[in-house]
Amino acid sequence: MAYEVLISDHKPVLARADYVAAIEKPFTPHFEALRAGIVLRKIRQDGSWHQNAAEGVPAFTDGRVARFSMRAGGDLMASIWSAEDGHDYEYMDFS
């Protein structure tokens, strides 16, 4: 089963708590696992990486995958790295 996590409205600063609040509750653990993997591997990529790189599509042990538009991929990175770096990133910082 595949699912999407999409943030369609651009927000200048998308705090991690706001990003997590927008995710459907059954998928919050997936986001947290994805966040942990991104931070551990120090991944700072754009939506193109997510859509085109072999390692860019997260697959989970329950058989699900995460799919993001290019903008949502930037939102994902911005929400993660804003919290980690203490800097307010936008999706465009990862495009």
Mean pLDDT of each 10-residue bin along the chain, 95 residues long = 42 60 81 91 84 79 83 86 88 85
**Considering the domain boundaries, does residue 83 fall inside one?**
no
Closest by CA to 29, choosing from 2, 68, 61, is 61
Q: Kindly report whether the global pTM for this prediction surpasses the value 0.85.
A: no
At 81 the pLDDT is 92
In a domain, 51, yes or no: yes
Amino acid at 78: A
Print the domain residue range for 41.
2-69
Q: Measured between alpha carbons, how far is residue 22 from residues 41, 49, 53, 76 in Å?
A: 24, 23, 26, 12
Q: What is the pLDDT of residue 42?
A: 93
Q: Is there a domain that residue 37 lies in?
A: yes
Residue 88 inside a domain? The answer is no
Say how many domains are in the chain: 1
Please report which helix (H) or strand (E) contains residue 26, including its range: none
- Does 48 map to a domain? yes
pLDDT of residue 8: 39
Please report the pLDDT score of residue 16 as a whole number.
64
Task: Specify the pLDDT at position 4.
Answer: 43
Q: What is the pLDDT of residue 52?
A: 79
pLDDT for the residue numbered 15: 60
65: in domain: yes
**Is position 25 within any domain?**
yes
